[in-house]
Structure 1
Amino acid sequence: MKNSLCLILLLLATACTSADTHTQISGGNEKQQTFAFERNIPFDFDWQFHLGDVSAAKGAYFDDKAWQTVDLPHDYSITGEYSQAHPAGWRGGFLPTGVAWYRKNLEIPSEWKNKRIILRFDGVYLNSDVWVNGQHVGHRPNGYVSFSYDITKYLKGVWGKPFDSAQIAVRVDHEQAPTGRWYTGSGIYRHVWLDIVDQTFVPKDGVFARTGEVDFDSQQAQVLVDTEVHGAKGQGPFRVQQKLFDADGKLVANASTLVNESSEDVALDKTVLNVRDAKLWSTTDPYLYSLHTEIFKGEQRTDLKKTRVGIRTIDYTVDKGFLLNNEPLELEGMSFHHDGGPVGAAVPDDMWRRRLMQLKEMGMNSLRPAHTPFAPIFYDLADEMGFLVMNEAFDGWETEKADYDYGLFFEQWWQIDLEAIIKRDRSHPSIIMWSIGNEVIRKTSETQEELVKFVKALDDTRPITQGRGYMLGYDDIAGFNGHGEFKGFLEEYHEKYPKRTMVGTEITHTLQTRGVYRTKTAYRTRDNPAPWEKDDPIGKWNKIKDKVFLVPDLSEQEVFPEASKFYDSSYDNAIVRMNIRDEIKLSKKLPYLLGTYRWTAFDYLGESFGWPARTANFGIIDLAGFEKDGYYLYQSQWSDKPMVHVLPHWTHPGKEGVEIPMVVYTNLDEAEMFLNGTSLGTKAMTDDMQIVWQVPYTPGEIEVVARSKATELRKVIRTSGKPSSVNFFADKSTIQANKRDVVHVAVDVIDKHGVMVPNADSLLSFSLEGPGKIIGIENGDILDHSHHVAPERRAFNGKVMVLIQATDEEGDIRLSATSDGLVSKAMIIHSVKNTAPATLDNSKPKLIANH
């Protein structure tokens, strides 16, 4: 047996914190009972993997000993080499696809006899088929939708002896490509779980909890609960108990329903829980209750399903905008795809947490996962951190955008998949609207109406929008992508439809490459056209140039002519139709515009402008996870925490005497700049959202002092010397030995005085000793085709990121970095067991001592 009984029992004992316990209620006291149920058992580790099609692998007795052993989440595309020959092309970031198989043995303890065994997949890309003991269980073409199978009936005959096993086989068919307009990844790229439940049970997505009536004055609120129960037929009477607990574990409301049903499935609608002194969920105080849905047969509790609940109200009007808990709140949001840069689509939970913490620190309050549902952990974190989410179901409908995308399956599968999406996510307080599509080709009012009615039948508590679907008439909120960035476009629409609220589903698009600057404004269509613009860029530019928000140049002559044409300027002057500052002004100006979702928060793989680029630089955080200057521009406008940022760096050899435009972003009232101790004057912050000094380059030090009445902040940047060594900055110094935890280690190339060298491209060699593994190395350079776990990587503009994941063993993990001409450095990360989960600080990663 590949997995011993001990491993199964260990998983039962140590399943993740959201797992339900198995206890019995008797006389008001909880007592330990014989095995009743267990949910959320991790099923991620030690799968056998083979890249290539082996039809015999579906069989129960197929020999897979020679296959590679992998842990999930797993993306086999990101492990390949970049090549123009790969069929995914520029859409898929020039990475490979293909067919692959996964196999894993499941041991069956005797305690599971007469229970249901549910196998749950958070997501498999693409065209997955599952077999159990050689029997075909199911097929799902959509790579983004979570699904589950009751595999109990495929295990008949295994109960004849105390322990037996089941062989799980999964075939992933991503042979034909491209299947998306961006990098999709391939494989079982999200978590897999087991639920062991009673014959009568609440399915994973069988509870819909939402806010009913709220009295803000008396702080009284209702929580409404719909419950599905499966397997009721022939089970006799049972009781469904709803208990709501506050964050301290105190019972605050409960209700009970006796069920005596002859049908297989039971639906209990709108159970009302009345909550006194209700604490509201918000972006600043994301307070969560815990709802326990229990099934009792007699006095024995046979099932428990936990659901987190946030009590909050939403509304939207043309004069007040979006309202959360009856208070106006501008949606300050961004869109992004599901990949994690160097790890591809197999994004660890810790990476999602770090990414969302970066956005929270920036002051962002809303997220748009584009253009597909994301992994469940994403929405759990949004609930915890207080983000508002526009949840998007589809990129397109009946017509394909990429040759082999979901359009091939839409008409057959959309109802099945959309129901799965809505039912999985509708209890999340973070989700405030549904999006049913994005820039849909050949869209029709008939299809939009059908989708809207379908969603509202499952959830009538949230409005529905669509990216660039404003002309069809059946959505609740008009959604605008690039066209909404043209001068006067939204205002003209409002004149025609004065009762319609709007949202910038993709507003705005700008481009930045970390550490690269140009002082002359660039417009994508004119200066660096996208693939769909290259047939006639000048003609297309002439058609739109009078509609574009033009941005003044920062100098008459280009100060940085050496910058590669493949990279974009990190001043706010590389745009498509509108820059960041004009986006923010527009959102504040128009009350009927609920807010905007920038394209994008993070650089993502794929959808590039063509070889050799892996992506286009739309993100304000790069592929490695490093913030670009645009991040700080948004922070200066969206965050109340005092901040100051200055750009560019102050290392420009050969430009002595040349005036460098030095730009300051701050949320304080004014700033003063000093060059080598001499004041260059104090300037007030204006609605231009940036302060600019023209400073003749002289090596040394730039200091900025930002001030308001009660606050003074200083920022110093220095001219660097030649590369001498490296510094390590890690987001955690201790991780758990659980095969899941990840530490992000930022590596800066520094000079002999410890100053980061902003133009360094040193080739760094990394080695790791101890109970950890490198799962990704990235520098943020969109032209770098290095393998993501190769031990060498060039610094890009002075930086590299190394991602290290724990194994299941304790000990010290030692990361070393060497390079010709540099002093070697090393750092230590401690991996321990049986501790509380390591958490990230909200502050910048801290310098870890070099050894």
Structure 2
Amino acid sequence: MNFVYRGLCCLFLLLVISVQLFAQSPRKRQLLNEGWKFHLGHAANAEKDFNYGLSNIFAKTGRAEKTAIAVDFNDAAWRTVQIPHDWAVELPFAFKDNDDLKDHGYKALGGLFPENSIGWYRKKFSVTTTDSGKRFSITFDGIFRDAKVWLNGFYIAANQSGYVGFTVDVTNYINFKKENVLVVRADATQSEGWFYEGAGIYRKVWLNTYDNLHVTDDTFVHTITQADGKAMITVEADVKNDGLQTTEATFYTLIKDRTGRIVAKTDVKRVNVNSNDATPVKQQVLVDKPIWWSIEQPYLYHAEILVSRGDKVIDERNIRFGIRSIDIKADGVYLNGKHVKIKGTNNHQDHAGLGSALPDYLQYYRISLLKQMGSNAYRASHHAPTPELLEACDSLGMLVLDEQRLLNSSPEYMDQFERLVKRDRNHPSVFLWSIGNEEGYAQVNGFGKRIAQTLLAKQKQLDPTRTSTYAADLANVFTGVNEVIPVRGFNYRQFAVADYHRDHPQQPIIGTEMGSTVTTRGIYVKDTVSAYLPDQDITAPWWASTAEQWWPLAAENDFWLGGFIWTGFDYRGEPTPYKWPNISSHFGVMDVCGFPKNIYYYYQSWWKDEDVLHISPQWNWRGKEGQNIDVWVNSNADNVELFLNGKSLGKKNMPRNKHLQWSVAYRPGTLKAVGYRNSKKLVSEVKTTGAAYKLKLTPSKQILLANGSDAVVVNVLILDKNGLEVPDAMQEIKFNLTGGATIIGVGNGDPSSHEDDKILTGQWKRKLFNGHCQVILQSGKKVGNATLNATADGVKGAAVQFAVK
């Protein structure tokens, strides 16, 4: 089954082509993702940590003898990996009665497992002598966590955050005559959250080359809507001079549409920048008849920012942005003046088979699944998202609540917050900032209030075009953070929202976490041994609610801006209400592979203005003939009639924002629902299937870019002889891939599965879980074909071919 928008592949290809169109620039940005050497260190034994902690590496500049930092260290025995890389997903599961281990998915990582908690990376790269005299920096988009970085033996950077990227100038350490050696030590002993976080260099690494006179990374492009329908584009930038002499240059900006056509140009401004100084520049330009960025039409422009000396362009920044306005009032969110009810999902960043190291395509794939459900907003819970996630939201039309990991105003966390806001403020998808989540100790007292005021002041300084919220797990409480936060966030406590609004009618309110129904895809009875829960909207923890308890409140009251359900996808860690053998959560409306559960169709019914009619459960109940089965119908039809083998079981009107339910004595055959929506007939049915007969492979696309990083998701199921999907199949599937691609992960959505997601040696395989599993492939760099073969005992196999070009 393919749940991806049909235009996803074309859109992803258009994005790549767009990047290539704007690639000719005096500034170079080179990916350093390939050819890394990797080895585990040891958090408790310095000898097994390549002498880190024994050798005195900080006594002299560049001194790194007898350690893995040394330029001449022999790493031939280390494993070669490609970035992004998450070593945690490769580790075995380990059961110990420890809450932190449980919350992180029982992976053998952290303080209890010092042998698995340090990761060393080494990368060699060359720099051409023709670039001598240029400046160089290296950008790490994300390392989990507590990273230390050396180049050619010189210690150049440290970064504690596992989520906020960092850039370090390495100009003085570049070797033009020999290979450069970049070394990273990541320490994942300590966690930051209470969910699976991964470990290692799990986001991209870049080598940046540019002129001594250049535009800095924190350029800000934003829009002010004009009354006549025009748009005033404001560009704020710093021109920095890292040269040894004062330099004069010119600065201007071209606004281009998605085809590269110039639609506006600023005046040319002369700048005179002293050595080791920066000059701020602010320019404005009108765009006539702009195409507004919206959820339905996410149109993106480019701001091409140019610095010239004489007739030569010496630096260029290209920033994608959208022309749109956001206004958050007590009665709603207004995008371009149009009221938008927030229909959002919370999400962590891991995916089945991959952990936290997702190829770009997976970001687009996951956002497309949420869009197809009818969601229009995404909360990055509870961390800075990867840049590619925001690019996917920009391109596909998904609003983003962008969140700071921790409510803290110390220098370390203020620096993280500043980097987050500066990095993400150009993305049109970002409509609201969050300064934190559920800080039980600080959120209700003077500490929380003062910390919040400091963070809010910084946010307004860096981005006056947006405002902030805070995810508070409190009812009708107006102390601490809530006294000063512009938009009141509610984590659950949905029945207190009306009282809070009554007492504070001018403060906008948004459900930052709502719902939290726990379900297991394809399971219809509570199973405390396997740790499964029924796949219907009936079970929620004491602190949460079902979908039908919270969504009608938000849908029917304008003082709710809307809300974000917990969660869009299942995620590793935080198993609830069970512990081992669960290693994943049950909260998602989709499982960790992105296969929908039945609650998905509840939200789709009321979030998406398209016809929806869905029957559950499946109709294979051998041995239960004559027993009553609860049948649910999720639909936005006006009324629905249910039939079993042609006999009517009654017609019912559909209550808005609810579902319909029948108790049906099981007989094999066909269960059919017939509904009418605005006089249009809708039909849906489930049938009793025969025995498993043959495999079916459904790829999300069949053309891969030969760039070594493109990816494709292949969903696997089994059909009977009549071509019906067998919903309760559990066979083990074996995979074999030939040609220009590799398998990078497998999964099946079973929250209690302890199978390997990564198979480093031997046969790739995965069991079906209630009829489904998934395999993820990544392209190579060789043009040609790749063929995936899938086999299973007792059934016919299947194959699918991909064009790699």
Compute the TM-score of the two structures, normalised by the length of structure 2. Answer: 0.89
In structure 1, what residue type is equivalent to 2:488?
A
Report the aligned-residue RMSD. Answer: 2.1
Shift of 1:578: 2.0
How many angstroms apart in 1 are the aligned matches of 2:716 and 2:421? 41
Tell me how far 1:650 sits from its aligned partner: 0.6
Q: Select between 664-673 and 619-628 the one with higher mean Cα deviation.
A: 664-673
Choose from 88, 94, 109 the match for 2:128.
Answer: 109
The structural deviation recorded for 1:232 is 5.9
Please point out which of 492, 497, 521 is paired with 2:504.
Answer: 497
1:227 aligned onto 2:274: no
Matched, 1:132 2:151: yes
Q: State the shift of 1:235 in Å.
A: 4.3
Partner residue, 2:802:
830
CA positional deviation for 1:302? 0.7
Q: Does 1:212 align with 2:224?
A: yes
Superposed displacement of residue 590, structure 1: 2.5
Report the counterpart of residue 722 of structure 1 in structure 2: 691
Question: Please, which runs of 5 or more residues in structure 1 have no aligned partner?
Answer: 1-13, 24-35, 398-409, 519-560, 834-851
Letter in 2 for 1:697: Y
| Secondary structure in structure 2 of the residue aligned to 1:646 | strand
Go from structure 1 to structure 2 and tell me whether the alpha carbon gap of 1:306 and 1:74 turns closer, same or farther (over 3 Å shift). same
What is the SS of the residue equivalent to 2:686?
Answer: strand
User: What does 1:527-542 correspond to in 2, within 5 Å?
Assistant: none
Q: 1:292 aligns with which of 279, 290, 304?
A: 304
2:791 to 793, 818, 838: 818
Structure 1 range deviating more: 806-815 or 80-89: 80-89
**1:599 corresponds to which residue?**
566
Q: Does residue 1:51 correspond to 2:65, yes or no?
A: no
Structure 2 equivalent of residue 171 of structure 1: 185
Which residue is equivalent to 1:712? Answer: 681
- Check the 8 A contact 1:735/1:829 in 2, yes or no: no
Partner of 1:471: 479
Cα pair distance change 1:598/1:295, threshold 3 Å = same
1:595-674 mapped onto 2 (5 Å cutoff): 595-608=562-575, 609-674=578-643
Contact 2:352 2:757 in 1 (8 A): no
Measure, in 2, the Cα distance between the counterparts of 1:830 and 1:39: 32
Q: Deviations over 1:442-493 (max 9, x none)?
A: 21211111111121111111111111076321211011102x23x3x11121
Q: Secondary structure at the match of 1:57?
A: coil
- Whether contact under 8 Å (2:712, 2:777) holds in the other structure is yes
Report the CA distance between 1:769 and its aligned residue. 2.3
Match among 551, 558, 564 for residue 584 of structure 1: 551
Secondary structure in structure 1 of the residue aligned to 2:344: strand
Counting matched residue pairs gives: 740
Alignment partner of 1:181 is 2:181? no
Q: 1:454 aligns with which of 429, 453, 458?
A: 458
- Alpha-carbon distance between aligned partners in 1 of 2:705 and 2:264, rounded to the nearest angstrom: 36
Aligned counterpart, 1:548: none
- 2:772 is equivalent to residue 799 of structure 1: yes
Q: Are the aligned partners of 1:281 and 1:288 in contact in 2 as well (CA < 8 Å)?
A: yes
Letter in 2 for 1:202: V
Question: What are the Cα deviations for residues 98-150 of structure 1, in whole angstroms up to 9, with x where unaligned?
Answer: 10111111101122111111211110000111101000000001010011111
Residues 436 and 135 (structure 1), Cα distance of their counterparts in 2 relative to 1, 3 Å cut: same
Q: Tell me the CA shift for residue 496 of structure 1.
A: 2.1
Distance 1:563 1:646, change over 3 A: farther
- Structure 1 segment 395-434 matched on structure 2, within 5 A: 395-397=406-408, 411-434=410-433
Letter in 1 for 2:380: P
Amino acid at match of 2:40: L
Deviation at 1:644, TM superposition (A): 1.5
Structure 1 position 669, deviation (Å): 2.0
1:508 Cα deviation after fit:
1.8
Partner of 1:554: none
Structure 1 residue 396 displacement after superposition: 4.6
Cα separation, 1, equivalents of 2:750 and 2:30: 39
Q: 1:292 to 1:688 in 2, by over 3 A?
A: closer
- String of CA shifts for 1:759-784, please: whole Å, max 9, x gaps: 22212222222222211111111111
Whether contact under 8 Å (1:650, 1:719) holds in the other structure is yes
Which range moved further: 776-785 or 589-598?
Answer: 589-598
Asked whether 1:685 is paired with 2:699, we answer no
User: Could you say which residue in structure 1 is the equivalent of 2:247?
Assistant: 236
1:768 aligns with 2:737: yes
Q: How far does the alpha carbon of each residue in 1:319-372 deviate from its partner, in whole angstroms, 9 at most, with x for none?
A: x31111112111110101111132001011111111100111111111101000
Residue 442 of structure 1 is matched in structure 2 by 441
Contact persistence 2:225–2:324 (CA under 8 A): no
- Correspondent of 1:146 among 165, 170, 187: 165
Cα distance in 2 for residues equivalent to 1:232 and 1:794: 57
Which deviations, in whole Å up to 9, do the C-alpha atoms of 1:4-35 show, x marking residues without a partner? xxxxxxxxxx9985368676xxxxxxxxxxxx
Runs of 4+ in 1 over 6 A off after TM superposition: none
Distance 1:362 1:15, change over 3 A: closer
Contact 2:636/2:656 (8 A) holds in 1: no
* Structure 1 match to 2:93: 82
AA matched with 2:559: Y
Q: How far did 1:605 drift?
A: 0.5
One-letter code of the match for 2:183? Answer: A
- Partner Cα distance (1:804, 1:340) in 2: 13
Conserved? CA contact 1:517–1:563, under 8 Å? no
What is the aligned counterpart of 1:61 among 48, 69, 72? 72
Cα separation, 2, equivalents of 1:829 and 1:190: 29
Distance 1:257 1:187 in 2: 44
- In structure 2, how many angstroms separate the alpha carbons of the residues matched to 1:15 and 1:804? 19
Q: State the identity %.
A: 32
Q: Does 1:481 align with 2:491?
A: yes
